[in-house]
Structures are given as structure tokens and as C-alpha cells.
Amino acid sequence: MSIQEHTFDYIIVGAGSAGCVLANRLTEDGKHSVLLLETGGSDKSIFIQMPTALSIPMNTKKYAWQFETEPEPYLDNRRMHCPRGKVLGGSSSINGMVYARGHARDFDEWQQSGAEGWDYQHCLPYFRKAETWAFGGDTYRGDSGPLGVNNGNQMQNPLYQAFINAGVEAGYFNTSDYNGAQQEGFGPMHMTIKGGRRCSTANAYLRPAMSRSNLMLVTHALVHKVQLEDKKAVGVIYEQGGRTHTARVNREVILSAGSIGSPHLLQLSGIGDPELLAKAGIALEHALPGVGKNLQDHLEFYFQFRCLQPVSLNRKLGWWSRLKIGTRWILKKDGLGATNHFESCGFIRSKAGVEWPDLQYHFLPAAMRYDGKEAFDGDGFQLHIGHNKPQSRGSVDIVSADPHQPPRIQFNYLQEEADREGFRACVRLTREIINQSAMDLSGGVKFSQDWTYKAMSRSMPLSVVPSKVLTTPPAPAKWVLMRWPLLIRKPVSMVCKD
């Protein structure tokens, strides 16, 4: 039966992190028909499924929308790369696979702000239901859910533990499970990997549902608009293979096209700020000025250091080593191909008086660029750090009635002084941690028969941070935004509040 001749109970726009879960849950009792529309295609590429290849899909047009922001006025007018998933699994098929639920107080804050039922105690059972934690279930962790979570290769590289020890030596907690009873501190990092493969929502939720007769998946389908009758969503118009199609719905049209795609689609449908829609040549269906507003994201940047002992993964970045890693992964689904390599981390507070951690570290035992190439000759490692409670806000604004034309994206990163202060803390506290004796290990800790691991011998940063920059408050924000790579993390935006 063609789609034009069929009406569905639910239409889901976007087979991404949310859409795949919804498609599974809404079809599991067999009572409801669901149409799932995805602009991208298959996720079966080795570069998506093999965790170590994570830098490839996020930088490939086939698998990701390669959005760019408008010049960001508080980042020296830099245009920031903003990749979003365009493939089955959405951004869960192109991201870094880091699994961090958030602090319990984040959810309690939601409820205090009016989101009834979204406090941590109400959300925890769903986290446990979703997850199979590699080290067994407990009060906080699940052991029978579809989403596989582990620690990669369990920190076999000695640099992972050295970083954790340095954090503890600097006065912070050691936490064995930051997704469990205590987030704050330094410890192993968790990732959404199962059986050596990326555990995207496509793998965890969509594939088990694909055999159900009440689920229809249509790929390479670009939705043009939501159809409205008397301000009620009754279907969608979408394009596939150069032809326009219409699908009707009995119950709900669910937009799960992400923080950029969902507000843009509402605006294309005539729902949003009347003045903005008029400028784009779109007839107003429903005035809702908040659509696309309140766009927010937390940046991260990274420090790169030279390592004075031959223990980093830089020596694994050559073509011959990559071939061996890839071959082993194809045959066994293990080894260095089966991890994102961020196997230790830290969650700390930027200053006294902050109620719960607002800074997050990822540790990588290699110094490399985001295209997967080494940053310099020799051994090295890097620390990624971000300020996770930004106050700066931006917007997603439609510019044309043409659905192929991307919206205008403006985050206004570091607009607020509190955000700039947070990044000053990132620089200052990172230097304190990296200069702990645990990162030196000069006391003769042996890691082989032939040599003693002295580690970085206080390390040698690739970009030396001048002492005066770290002690003069106004300077670091400007220095950071001018000199350091800044990476977009997890944007969110508003789609419904007026």
C-alpha cells in the first residue's frame, strides 16, 4: 500500500536519538501504526559502527548536516561548525558516544522550574530501564536495557589512571561511577558501546522494531512542512526521490528532528514569530514567538601536551597501525577499534559556592586533531574541558520558505560574563591539575622490564599558557577565544513556549 493511500496513528519526523526510541516504544504493543521519516540513509558504514572512527561521520556530509553558525560576536566573529546527524540514529550515530546522564540536581532544577515529574527520582527508573551497564545493575544502574554502556578498554593505557590520580592529588574526589551515587570527582568514563560496536539508538531501539508490520520507515525523506487544519496537525508533506508526498495522521505528528531541525520545521509550517515568518515569506498559521529561541549549548576546548615517554596513542595514528586496528575490529570487535578512547574523566566545580559540578573533563591519551591526524610529531595527550552551565542564549531563525535552505543559527557563545568566568576557571584549574606530581610519576613506577615511566616530567604544553594570562582576570577569555579550538557540544532550543 502506498503512503498516499494510508493514514498512520503516529508520524515521527527524524529517526535520530529520540525518533528511534519513539518508533520502538509506540509499536511494541502492536496496536498503533507508525510512519518514521528520516532525511538521511543507512548507518551500516564501518565508520559509524567502529567506535574509534568517530571523527569521520561527524565530518561527512552523507551522515551529518554540516551546519555553520553566523559569526559569533563573542568568539572574535568565528563561524562555528555545528554537525547534526543525518542518518539512521541521528546524532547518536555521529557523536563521541560519551554517556553522561547529568547531575541529580540538574533534574531537580528542572522540576523547580516547573517541569513537574522531571526531578531525578522520577527520571532514574527510566535511566535504569534504558541501560545495560557492563559491570552490573544496582540502585542507579540498569542491567537489562537496550542501550549498552561500558568503559571501552578499561583504561589499559597508564595515562588514564595518571590523570585520575592527578585530580585526586589536586584535592578532588575519586568517583568510581559518575552516573551512579556520586558524579563529582575523577574516574573512569562511560561510553555507549555494546559488543565492540557503537550503540546508537538505531542499533539499540530501531533495529529490534524493524520487523514489526505496524512500523514503516522511509529514508531520504525531507519533510517540507506539517499540515494543519484548524491549528491541528493532520499530516506532513515530504520530498523523496524528487517527488512530493503527503502522509496523514490519526493521532499525533511528533517532531524529533533535533535542536536545529525541529524549530526550523515548525517555522516552515507557519508556526513561530509572525515577524520572522513574514520576512521569510511564510504564511502565519499560529503565532508562537518562542519557537527557535533560547538556543543554548556548552562549548569545550582542549589542551594538548607533549608526553616524554612512549606510551601515548600518537604512535597508533599511522596508516599501518590504523590498518591493524581496523582489521582486528572487523574480525573480533575488540581492541583499540572498540573504544572512543576517552576512558577517564572528571567533574568538578569552577569556584566556591557552586552547588554541583559545572566543569567536565574528558581525557585522551593522544594529541590529535578532529580530523584524526596527530597534532605534532612524537607522543602526546590532551584534556578536553567545558563549562556545562552556560547562561548565554541564541536562536534558530528561518530565512527562506525553501526547506532546502538551512536556518540562521546564532548561539551567542560567551555573551554572558558568567560564561567567560567559567572558561577562565577551566584554564586555571586545568593547569593546577596537570602540574600535580601524579602526572610526573618520577618516583620510579615501573610499567615494563626495560624502562621506568616518568610521564610528562611536568609535561610540556603545545601552546604554553603565559603566567600573566592566568593571573589577570580579564585576559584569559579573550586569549581562549582567539587561540584555542572551540567545539560545539550538545545544543538545545525551544520549540513550543510562547
- The mean pLDDT of 403-414, rounded to a whole number, is 97
Range of lowest pLDDT (357-366, 419-428, 469-478): 469-478
Q: Are 351 and 87 in contact (CB under 8 A)?
A: no
Q: Is the pLDDT of residue 164 over 70?
A: yes
- The mean pLDDT of 150-175, rounded to a whole number, is 97
What's residue 285's pLDDT?
97
Closest CA to 305 of 80, 479, 462, 495: 462
Q: Are 357 and 348 in contact (CB under 8 A)?
A: yes
What's residue 6's pLDDT?
80
Closest CA to 492 of 418, 395, 387, 361: 395
Please tell me which residue, 449 or 155, carries the higher pLDDT value. 155
Please tell me which residue, 123 or 491, carries the higher pLDDT value. 123
Task: State if pTM tops 0.85.
Answer: yes
In this structure, how many other beta carbons lie within 10 angstroms of the beta carbon of residue 453?
19
pLDDT digits (tens, 9 = 90+) for 236-262: 999 999 999 999 999 999 999 999 999
What's residue 444's pLDDT?
31
- The mean pLDDT of 184-213, rounded to a whole number, is 98
Q: Are strands 131-133 and 147-149 parallel, antiparallel or unpaired?
A: parallel
Give the C-alpha distances (Å, rounded to integers) separating 47 from 58, 270, 369.
Answer: 10, 38, 17
Q: Is the pLDDT of residue 466 over 70?
A: no
Q: What is the mean pLDDT of the chain?
A: 89
| Distance linking the first and last C-alpha atoms of the chain | 40
- The mean pLDDT of 452-474, rounded to a whole number, is 30
What's residue 476's pLDDT?
45
pLDDT digits (tens, 9 = 90+) for 364-393: 999 987 666 767 788 899 999 999 999 999
Q: Is the pLDDT of residue 470 over 50?
A: no
Q: Is the pLDDT of residue 50 over 80?
A: yes
- The mean pLDDT of 445-462, rounded to a whole number, is 28
Percent of the chain with pLDDT over 70: 87
Closest CA to 361 of 340, 376, 347: 347
Confidence of residue 449 (pLDDT cuts 50, 70, 90): very low
Q: Rounded to an integer, what distance in angstroms lies between the CA atom of residue 179 and that of residue 107?
A: 13
**Cell numbers linked to 10:** 503516529
- The mean pLDDT of 66-94, rounded to a whole number, is 96
Confidence of residue 422 (pLDDT cuts 50, 70, 90): very high
DSSP string, 274-287: HHHHHHTT---SEE
What's residue 440's pLDDT?
81
- The mean pLDDT of 190-204, rounded to a whole number, is 98
Closest CA to 33 of 251, 203, 224: 251
